[in-house]
A and B are shown apart, each in its own frame.
Chain A
Amino acid sequence: MLKTYEYDAKQSVGLYRPGAYDSYIVNSYPDRSHYLALRIYYWPAKETLNPILLIQLDSMIKAKHLRKKYGDKVAVNDVSFQVQTGKVTGFLGPNGAGKSTTMRMMLGLSSGDGITLYDGKQLQDYSKPSELVGVLLEAKAFHPTRSARNHLKILATQGGVPLKRVDEVLDIVGLKTEAKQGPGKFSLGMSQRLGLAAALLASPKYLLLDEPANGLDPEGIVWLRNFLKSYTDNEHGVFVSSHLLSEMSQLADNVVVIGRGKLLADTSIKEFIDSNVGNYVFIRVDNLDKLIKLLDEKRITYKKKSGGLELTQTKTDAIGKLAFEAKVTVLELTKKSASLEEAFLEVTAGSEEYQGQETF
């Protein structure tokens, strides 16, 4: 574990210009977190400037080599990834890919191999885990006749959170008027809001949310998106799974994609799309054969689609010139950006646990 810290420290030091400061690692007491200490020098004087600037290392969630078996079936297979602060990390995968199992393993709810470190330490090493991570794994995780307020009061008590915070989070999620009701009759959207209120109680550094947008109305989805984006300032991080890919593409900065328990991608949304589908140019002309002949001569790859051609690794003006050269009339020439959905389908092709039959 110490090697990890040393490695991270070097990475962080590399971000700064050497010579203007001195840097070293301190092992803080009593929480044993590792900090990168920066001692800044006056120039040209030799005296150091106090106070020392401290940057906490490992300020992220690191899931390392998570592995879980149910009998002979490997549900999660050596999955490692990071959730950084200041970013929303989307967690994608087909049904049965192991997303929920992975999240449960990260929280210690499910056993298995591997380790998850929150800012360099395991969750149980913190005296108040609620201040580190807020959890929403299931919308309907409440006693149906216990009032929403009492439900949150119980969680606040256990998490060591002042009870006045209960009304604050109810206000944040818009459930203040329903606080006295038993949530048994709540709609799925209201239940999600209550679950989110529970996750926010201790203003945790990280939020782990499993399908939080399920059941929310369009207004609720927009609210959730804006809320989570505003939550991820430099101090906070959000790890969120969702099946709503269009929503995820608007919300997430990074994505972690798994299929059949294996990690398929851990990267930024842009890189994920570019490396798997990328942008392409679509062209439709009056005489496709003439254009194809020219493209074949110039060894430019293309794909026939919707009465036209899809060309990758090229630009619209270059394709326009080619069409002119082939003496064809251009009916449509568009630069298209691949969507997260297309990239997701490309990456997870063949790794779906359950597949529907094409009937039409």
Chain B
Amino acid sequence: MTKEIKSEFKKVFSIRSTYIILGLMLVLVIFFGFYVGGWHSQKIDLLNPHRLYMVAQQAISFLSVFIALLAVLLLTHEFRYNTITYTLTLSNSRNKVLLSKVVVVSVIALIATAVIGSLSPMLAYWGIHANHLHLVAQHFYYSDLLWKGLVFGWGYSMAALVIAILIRNQIGAIVALLLIPTTVEGLLSVWLKSNTDYLPFSALHTMLGAGTDVQKSGLNPINAMYVFLGYLVFSGAIAWFSFIKRDAN
């Protein structure tokens, strides 16, 4: 399967859109880290002992959508430009093809999330000092951020891949990726109220804890992760079956 994985990496890094998305993501990391999280900090933020931890959480929460976009493009480009005919005839197994895409998206998601999670608090710290502000002593939960951040970044991109496999159409998949976590789950929250945390993307955000009041949430981060993974496994199985069985048109 090594050749399939190598080939998928080459697909990602041989088109402009990858560099545009990664470049934009980096610019936003700098903007949110250095300016919003650092330079432009309010007094109340500077007194928060979890300030840098929260900057990292929020950056991962917001910027993971860019990694998810890469996952969508990796799959939907194949169907949009019909290169799927080559991909499937050069390999002797559709399972290998799909697994190689999962591996490549996972590797990119984990690396990109690690970069976002480590760069944003550093840039915030630098921004605060560059503006001659003083931040109180910080508590930074490294291991907590590590597992939550990586699961969030990986999970978001896997969800995007599942959406892309099921929809196949590029525009449709991107719209679904942008609307489901925000508009769709937002509208459902009106009806579900406190049970909203049991929706997939809400559970993912609850797990990360960015912008969520964990005390008020019915789910602790571990259970929230299980809820999300449950959705991912179920929808992933359908997507996998669909990829194996559907005609490659």
Contacts and interface: CB of A to CB of B under 8 A. Distances in A.
Same complex origin of A and B: yes
B90 A143 contact: no
B143 interface: no
B92 interface: yes
B190 interface: no
B87 interface: yes
Contact of B89 (A129, A138, A147, A157): A129
Interface in B1-42: 3-4, 6-7, 10-11, 14-16
Given A123-B92, A129-B91, A154-B7, A138 B85 contact: yes
Given A109-B247, A157-B3, A129 B14 contact: no
Contact of B92 (A109, A126, A137): A126
Contact of B93 (A124, A128, A135, A155): A124
Contacts of A157: 3, 6-7, 10
A115 to B, nearest CB: 16
B247 A141 contact: no
B214 to A, nearest CB: 43
Interface string B134-151: 000000000000000000
Determine the main DSSP class of B at the interface with A. Answer: helix
Contacts of A128: 92
Interface string A100-141: 000010011111000000000001111111100101011011
B92 A110 contact: no
Given A110-B249, A137-B85, A141-B82, A159 B90 contact: yes
B10 A153 contact: yes
3 residue pairs, one from A and one from B, having the closest CB atoms: A158-B7, A141-B82, A150-B14
B86 A127 contact: no
A155 B14 CA distance: 13
B50 interface: no
Interface string A146-179: 1100100111011110000000000000000000
B83 A142 contact: yes
A269 B248 CA distance: 32
21 contacts: A109-B85, A109-B88, A124-B92, A126-B92, A127-B92, A129-B89, A135-B85, A137-B82, A137-B85, A138-B85, A141-B81, A141-B85, A143-B77, A146-B15, A150-B10, A153-B10, A153-B14, A155-B7, A155-B90, A157-B10, A158-B91
Nearest to B85: A137
Given A104-B247, A129-B91, A158-B91, A135 B86 contact: yes
B43 interface: no
A142 B90 contact: no
A153 B86 CA distance: 12
A153 B249 CA distance: 23
A138 to B, nearest CB: 5
Contacts of A146: 14-15
A240 interface: no
A198 interface: yes
B158 to A, nearest CB: 22
B82 to A, nearest CB: 4
Contacts of A158: 3-4, 6-7, 86-87, 90-91
B15 A143 contact: yes
Give the size range of A's interface with the partner.
35 or more
Contacts of A140: 81-82
Given A108-B89, A109-B85, 12 more contacts: A107-B89, A109-B88, A110-B247, A125-B92, A126-B92, A135-B86, A143-B77, A145-B15, A147-B14, A153-B14, A157-B7, A198-B86
A133 B89 contact: yes
Interface of B: 3-4, 6-7, 10-11, 14-16, 77, 81-83, 85-93, 245-249
A144 B85 contact: no
Contacts of A198: 86
A122 to B, nearest CB: 9
Nearest to A149: B14
A110 B88 CA distance: 11
Contacts of B86: 135, 141, 155, 158, 198
A145 B247 contact: no
B74 to A, nearest CB: 11
A198 B86 CA distance: 9
Nearest to A124: B92
Interface in A45-61: none
B6 A143 contact: no
A136 B87 CA distance: 12
Nearest to A147: B14
Contacts of A150: 10, 14
Contacts of B83: 141-143
A198 B92 CA distance: 17
Contact of B247 (A111, A130, A138, A142): A111
A130 B88 CA distance: 10
A144 B92 contact: no
Given A140-B82, A142-B83, A145-B15, A154 B10 contact: yes
B167 to A, nearest CB: 19
A50 to B, nearest CB: 35
A265 B3 CA distance: 40
Contacts of A124: 92-93
B11, B81, B245 interface centre (most CB from chain A within 10 Å): B81
Contacts of B246: 111
Contacts of A129: 89-92
